[in-house]
């Protein structure tokens, strides 16, 4: 993990163009190559970011450092470091991963036992399918034998979509699995998360906890 606090300007070009004017920000570079730019506010969400895998090239022009971050999708993130205030690196080792709370773990268990409710002909390959970047909640195959990765949350937010995106990018490098599609499943999916997921070709699925447990819900449903 590398943490850099710097007075910087950031420009992104790819699916759209975005510009961050000069200001002091935290730049976080993780061991897998992912990079994110944070302000001192806004909770955990970065102002801009690029997921791994990507390439970071450094150049020096008139004493000013510039980082050019590129990926296979031809997206570019240009970070001009006008003044580096702090530059700290630490080897953090392998993280044991998140232990799901009772409801989220139970949702995974219930959905694994009822994957046919997602789609006719869907079959479970493995729960907690292992990858080098963390376990995929459910790996399934649809009626045509195509691989499907499912990420399950109690509340579906943007960080969950980003997590599933990383899994899909990783799994689609495996010739025995690709093409791998994604399903983002949660009891509640935030509008921004739904927009991001659908923009990336990820299907959204709202889970009814009571229905999965075989309990008739008292809530009225609109069809």
For the ranges 48-62, 101-115, 144-158, 196-210, the lowest mean pLDDT is seen at 101-115
Q: How far apart are CA 197 and CA 176, in angstroms?
A: 24
pLDDT (average), residues 60-69: 89
The CATH number given to 2-89 is 2.70.180.20
Confidence band for 180, pLDDT divided at 50, 70 and 90: very high
pTM above 0.75, yes or no: no
Q: How far apart are CA 33 and CA 52, in angstroms?
A: 5
Confidence band for 57, pLDDT divided at 50, 70 and 90: very high
Exposed, middle or buried: residue 169 (CB in 10 Å: 0-12, 13-18, 19+)? middle
Q: Which CATH number, 3.80.10.10, 3.40.50.2300, 2.30.38.10, 3.40.1350.10, labels domain 102-212?
A: 3.40.1350.10
Confidence band for 74, pLDDT divided at 50, 70 and 90: confident
What are the beta bridge partners of residue 126?
139
Instruction: Please give the structure tokens belonging to residue 66.
Output: 């510039």
pLDDT at 101 (0 to 100): 54
pLDDT at 98 (0 to 100): 63
Cβ-count burial 15-41 (b if 16+ within 10 Å, e if not) = eeeeebeeeebbbbbeeeebbbbbeee
pLDDT above 80 (res 214): no
CA dihedral 97, 99, 100, 106 (to 10 degrees): 120
Exposed, middle or buried: residue 139 (CB in 10 Å: 0-12, 13-18, 19+)? buried
pLDDT at 219 (0 to 100): 44
pLDDT at 216 (0 to 100): 46
Instruction: Please give the structure tokens belonging to residue 85.
Output: 């205030």
More confident residue, 43 or 219: 43
pLDDT, tens digit (0-9, with 9 covering 90-100), for 124-178:
999 999 988 889 999 999 999 999 999 999 889 999 999 999 999 999 998 889 8
In 3D space, the residue among 60, 55, 48, 65 whose CA is nearest the CA of residue 13 turns out to be 48
pLDDT (average), residues 114-131: 89
100-106, Cβ contacts within 8 angstroms, sequence gap of 24 or more: 101/154, 103/154, 103/209, 104/152, 104/153, 104/154, 106/209
Percent of the chain residues past pLDDT 90, beyond the cut: 58
For the chain, the domains span: 2-89, 102-212
pLDDT (average), residues 1-27: 93
Mean residue pLDDT across the chain: 87
């Amino acid at each position: 993990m590398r943490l850099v606090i710097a007075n910087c300007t950031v420009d992104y070009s790819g699916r759209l163009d975005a510009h961050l004017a000069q200001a002091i920000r935290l730049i976080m570079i993780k061991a897998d190559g992912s990079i994110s730019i944070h302000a001192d506010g806004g909770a955990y969400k970065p102002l801009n970011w690029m997921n791994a895998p990507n390439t970071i090239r450094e150049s020096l022009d008139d004493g000013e450092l510039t980082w050019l971050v590129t990926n296979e999708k031809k997206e570019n993130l240009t970070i001009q470091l006008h003044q580096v205030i702090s530059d700290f690196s630490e080897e953090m080792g392998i993280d044991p991963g998140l232990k799901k709370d009772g409801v989220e773990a139970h949702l995974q268990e219930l959905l694994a036992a009822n994957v046919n409710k997602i789609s006719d002909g869907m079959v479970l390959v493995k729960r907690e399918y292992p990858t080098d970047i963390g376990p995929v909640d459910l790996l399934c195959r649809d009626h045509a034998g195509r691989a499907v990765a499912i990420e399950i949350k109690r509340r579906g937010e943007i960080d969950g979509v980003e997590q599933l995106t990383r899994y899909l990018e990783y799994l689609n490098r495996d010739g025995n699995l690709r093409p791998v599609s994604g399903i983002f499943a949660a009891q509640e999916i935030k509008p921004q998360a739904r927009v991001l997921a659908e923009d990336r070709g990820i299907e959204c699925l709202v889970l009814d906890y009571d229905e999965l447990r075989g309990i008739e819900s008292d809530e009225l449903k609109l069809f």
